[in-house]
Chains A and B, each alone.
Chain A
Amino acid sequence: MAWLVVRLAISVSLLYTASAVFEDQVGKFDWRQQFIGKVRFALFDTHSQASKKLLVATDKNVFASLNSRTGDLFWRHVDKIGPEGHIDALLMYGQDAVVVTGNGRLLRSWETTVGGLKWETVLDTGSFQAAALVGVQDFVKYVAVLKKSAISLHDLSSGSQIWVENLPDSDTVQYQTIYSGGNGLVFVFGVVPNSHIVIVEYKIEDGEIMRKKSVEAAWMSSLESSCTVISSGILLCVDQITQSLYTLQLQSAEQTEIRQIHLQTLDLEVASGFQPVLTSTQPNPAQPPLSEFFLQLSPDHHILLQLKDGLIAPLRDFNPSYLAAFATSGERTVAAVMSPKNDTACSINLFSADTGRRHLDTTIIYHMDPNGGKPNRLYVHAFLKKDDSVGYRVMVQTEDLTLTFLQQPGRVVWVREEALADVVTMEMVDLPFTGTQAELEGEFGKKAAIQDGLLPMVLKRLSSQFILLQAWLAHLWKLFYDARKPRSSVKNEVTIDTLSRDEFNLQKMMVMVTASGKLFGIDSKSGTILWKQYLENIQPDSVFKLIVQRTTAHFPHPPQCTLLIKNKDTGLGNLYVFNPIFGKKSQISVPALPRPVLQTLLLPVIDQDYAKVLLLIDDQYKVTAFPSTKNVLQQLQDTASSIFFYLVDSSQGKLSGFRLRKDLSTELIWEVVIPTEVQKIVAIKGKRANEHVHSQGRVMGDRSVLYKYLNPNLLAVITESTDTHQERSFVGIFLIDGVTGRIVHEAVQRKARGPVHFVHSENWMVYVYWNSKFRRNEFSVLELFEGAELYNSTVFSSLDRPHPPQVLQQSYIFPAPISTLEATLTEKGITSRHLLVGLPSGNILSLPKMFLDPRRPEVVSEQSREENLIPYAPEMPIREEWFINYNQTVSRIRGIHTAPSGLESTCLVVAYGLDIYQTRVFPSKQFDVLKDDYDYVLISSVLFGLFFATMISKRLAEVKLLNRAWR
């Protein structure tokens, strides 16, 4: 019987928490965007004219096929993170794409239409140098892979290895490139820096060395960047120091001297400090390359040259020009060159490669985004039109990782913002009211209104009511107008002008900061990018911190966000202040930060413009306030003795607390030192500032109350042992009061290892670790209670809480690895909490906090049943219907951001990684919203029915009374 009750309790509790998306709700309030990252290789499928495929390989180890008409993904393969999945080379021939991954570890061939793997070969060890397709008699049959000390040839249709040969003298010669011109030979080029070039010739059939020669080249340091093969087997090199071009006939036995051609004889000069770049083209791997090539002399100077009869002659000089690329369609090869037109636009023109003549009517105007970066790569897709002229489309990649696809005469076909593949941090900001609402708000907000007197106020009120009426009528008219049109043509395009807060504040502005230094403002409802801003000169490994200083609630003051950009090595930072709704940079003067910033602190203190005060603490423990008006400084002086902050030095294991002095200097007040010989601090987290806790305690089964220990200054510090032996390793958990430095609780999870993910909220903390003894992931929950009595129920002060809290803890097995962890957040904190667990599979699990409750009883009792506690089970369940993103998986999920909405039941969730996914979750179901299928007709008909029934019965009763009176 008891068992039955247990099961009943479990099933009832599950019934309560189980919530999944219905089929018709898919995509209703959620969206996903998939990204690929910075493109390293891009190849257009020129196999057939109608092909729309664009193959890309990126720095995020993604290999994908894009639809070149729409920019959507056909398919995408996400490989392992780091060097193991690094894509070294991408080659394409016909329907096959050959990819070398993991520093030459794997050779794979993909079918390009559906993205299926055709074959895969594991290559011999050795660091990858180059790969090339090899053709025999106009037919590409092989792929050659050059490693540091060996070369191997593989069959293109099956991947089987034809032969592998060790390279001669590979310990002294650096072999770097490979070339085949379809004449049955494979050339391998190596260099001994500042000495000579080595050329080894292999026979394709059996890998026999046909010839090996070395040529003196004292000026040569690296082949890869400065040499190329042109024409029928001529090695062409360029050198900046000697200002010369060098040519070498590959196949002639007699020429063992490299020929030098001074650039001066061609009236050319390489810009000082610029490494000149040679670009040649080999349209068909089974045939020798063309004799035309580009030479880039400076960042904005290209020249098209031709080698004819052993002489180099310029065909066309492109000065100025940013980018140049070759493209081939059928038998015709063209060159596309991007030149600046004016300050905001570039023009791209097409030239025939063999003559350098410009093709008529081929100009594409590329408008540069004033908030974007400069273009840095150009990919050209050439095709033959019906009249046999060459048409083309281009894809431009810019510094801020925007891919723009253009066609003639400059129409932007699609744009992809690949910077969003690497979101670092984000915030969600409320949208402003509409203009009329703001008008109404603003009128009473102004201080002048107080002096206006009664009559002007009444008039103002009437006029604003009139404006509201006008807006409502306009809205009605629009509704009526739209209703007549077919439904499909009514589009609710979100633009920056139509942005306004909805009734329940469900639509917000997502401000996203990406690693490349590009900021985005995205509408959370539709995922439309409303503004973007590229910050130039951002160091690649900068640390970003985004702070909302002023929300939208203070009309007419615009909302204000501040981004602290900190250099990881020097610690020097600078501030970027902007309006999060429109993305515009604020005109406010920003304090200069000459010293490394150690800590930032957002105070609840506001200045007269309603901006919260941000304190920046530098390495000399001096404090800079922003904004630093007189008003703010006065307020800071008044409250200085109650402003505390902490610093962490994980290299010394030192945590220290400081107090602000009136002159904005600081004094050290506490110090905790965790010896680094034993354990090192890996993470530290406080509580979220915008978190609300609704109930002070928990009602127990016997109707007494267990009060929560709600310390807003509590810090959770996680340490990991330096000893990584599986028996001796441990994870340490310190709960430290950030004001007094008091260690509230200290626990050790033995035989445990990181990475530790944790959430710290309300009176609890949940962490996940790896149990190295049982080899599994485990969840542990800590809850802190004051006990049956509150020490001081009116106010919490860290300085006056002498009794240590009661700490309860319980652990559970979690049957899956974890990528990230976050907790839901709602407006008032009434709704029960859920944990959002990002899994490496890309799913997001919404786990009720109810399952992570240290008071879950071993043995069920009457009281625990009263309290609705689930009996303890060591394993945490994972139920498919708890995946909030059903099949919309988020690749490489790195972070989850939660934000409250205007509805208490609803929490907005954004998960980011390689993809971005936005949805809403309802941890306690939608208790404050009527359901979609709510029966208004039934309810109103019943109401009306009852109303009429009472009316009639009243009448009847009156008649009856009258009749009785007559009797």
Chain B
Amino acid sequence: MNGNGFVCQSGEAVDTDFSGFSVPLEHSFEVDDVPRFSLRGVLQFRGGREHGVYLAQNQLSEKDRNTLKDVAAVDGLYRIRVPRVSLQADRQTERQAEGYLTTFVRACSLVESHLSDVITLHTDVSGCVVGVSIVTIPGSCRGIEVEDEVDLEVFNTTISVVAPVTAPVPETAPYIERMEQEMEKKGKNPQEQKSFFAKYWYLILGGAVFLMATSSAQTPPGGAREQS
């Protein structure tokens, strides 16, 4: 727990009065490259285990559009930031921590993609937002002139919240199951179920022939006549 009472623990957060809450999404694009953040939109989180998120954002003003184009011309950065929040905590006061999470994208790629960007919020196991990323699609800067002012008015944003993936553990159960199946198959195999004689008939036959050969060699020639 730190100074302002921010709790970000993996404890069982009880989603009681979870009616959702919102945090600002701010952006900055300046020709002199000194960040001065202003409001871009509002991120609205819906409660529940599924971290639904919705972004309500303003249109870019005429001035902003020009600035953005100028920044793109000098290959400046377009930065965004969100405050550090927890999506799990049950009280609004405990939700927010000191500081922001920032990231950037090249302003020219934002312009060239006609403001279509993908913003992803990454949370940790306890539901704290740990990082934010922004990419534009397409992401390249080819130097294409964007003449149409309409293209730079409205953001076409895809926003999502990504929680960590649970890494797999060694899968022993299916493996054992498979081994058992193999064993069963082997058991059913008629070749394996043969009787002792069926399996080793050649050995027995060979042995018998060998015995017969040796015994016939040992018996004196006269003995055979006596028996007959």
Contacts and interface: CB of A to CB of B under 8 A. Distances in A.
A124 interface: no
Contact of B168 (A667, A674, A810): A810
Interface in B88-124: 97, 99-106, 109, 118, 120, 122, 124
Interface in A443-458: none
Interface string A736-773: 10001111011111100000000000000000000100
A874 B135 contact: no
Contact of A678 (B103, B124, B162, B171): B124
B170 A809 contact: no
B185 interface: yes
B139 interface: yes
B33 to A, nearest CB: 7
B138 A672 contact: no
Interface residues of B, number: 55
Contact of B77 (A669, A673, A723): A669
Given A671-B100, A747-B165, A858-B178, A812 B170 contact: yes
A802 B137 contact: yes
A299 B158 CA distance: 74
B87 interface: no
Contacts of B102: 668-671, 741
Interface stretch (A18-26, A240-248, A507-515, A725-733): A725-733
Interface in A276-313: none
Contact of A813 (B10, B106, B170, B174): B170
Nearest to A773: B169
A743 B133 contact: yes
A740 B171 contact: no
A750 B140 CA distance: 38
A523 interface: no
Contacts of B174: 858
B164 A748 contact: yes
Given A667-B33, A802-B139, A858-B174, A747 B97 contact: no
A677 B7 contact: yes
B31 to A, nearest CB: 14
Contact of B133 (A723, A730, A741): A741
B25 interface: no
B131 A732 contact: no
A670 to B, nearest CB: 5
Contacts of B128: 675, 678
Contacts of B202: none
B125 A732 contact: yes
Please classify how large the interface on chain A is, using the bins under 10, 10 to 19, 20 to 34, 35 or more.
35 or more
Nearest to A859: B178
B79 A669 contact: yes
Contacts of B168: 780, 809-811
Interface string A794-813: 00000111100001011111
B209 to A, nearest CB: 32
Interface in B157-183: 162-172, 174-175, 178, 182
Contacts of A226: none
Contact of A799 (B7, B105, B122, B125): B105
B121 to A, nearest CB: 10
Contacts of B171: 811, 858, 872, 874
A30 interface: no
Contacts of A723: 10
Contacts of B120: 742-743
A656 B130 CA distance: 12
B1 to A, nearest CB: 7
B124 to A, nearest CB: 6
Contacts of B7: 677
Contacts, number: 148
Nearest to A749: B167
Contacts of A792: 140
A864 interface: no
A127 interface: no
A721 B165 CA distance: 16
Interface in A639-683: 641, 667-675, 677-679
B135 to A, nearest CB: 4
B28 to A, nearest CB: 11
A807 to B, nearest CB: 8
A749 B166 CA distance: 6
A418 interface: no
Contacts of B186: 3
Contacts of B130: 672-675, 743
Given A671-B102, A741-B133, A677 B122 contact: no
Contacts of A674: 124, 130
B122 A743 contact: yes
A345 interface: no
Contacts of A872: 171, 175
A672 B120 CA distance: 13
A728 B79 CA distance: 36
B166 A750 contact: yes
B36 to A, nearest CB: 13
Nearest to B101: A671
B3 to A, nearest CB: 12
A811 B169 contact: yes
Contacts of A672: 101, 130-131
A877 to B, nearest CB: 13
A390 B171 CA distance: 73
A799 B135 CA distance: 8
A746 B162 contact: yes
A829 B172 CA distance: 33
A677 B9 contact: yes
Interface in A845-866: 858-859
A786 interface: no
A778 interface: yes
Contacts of A670: 102-104
Contacts of B1: 677
Interface string A775-791: 00010100000000000
Contacts of B106: 799
Nearest to B121: A743
Nearest to B135: A802
Interface string B27-43: 00000010000000000
Interface in B208-223: none
Contacts of A677: 1-2, 7-9
A677 B127 CA distance: 12
B131 A741 contact: yes
Nearest to B125: A748
A873 interface: yes
Contacts of A678: 8-10, 124-126, 128
B163 to A, nearest CB: 8
Interface in B182-203: 182, 185-186
Contacts of A736: 131
B75 interface: yes
A567 B1 CA distance: 31
Contacts of B166: 747-750
A675 B124 contact: yes
A859 B178 CA distance: 9
Interface string B70-90: 000001010100001000000
B175 A873 contact: yes
Contacts of B126: 675, 678
A802 B118 contact: yes
29 contacts: A3-B185, A671-B99, A673-B99, A673-B130, A673-B131, A678-B9, A678-B128, A679-B124, A728-B10, A742-B120, A742-B133, A742-B135, A746-B122, A747-B164, A747-B166, A749-B166, A749-B167, A749-B169, A800-B109, A800-B140, A800-B141, A802-B135, A809-B167, A809-B168, A810-B168, A811-B169, A812-B170, A813-B170, A813-B172
List the 5 shortest-distance A-B pairs measured between CB atoms, nearest first: A742-B133, A672-B131, A802-B135, A874-B170, A800-B139
Given A675-B84, A874-B171, 12 more contacts: A669-B77, A671-B102, A675-B128, A678-B8, A746-B163, A780-B167, A799-B105, A800-B138, A802-B118, A802-B138, A812-B170, A858-B171
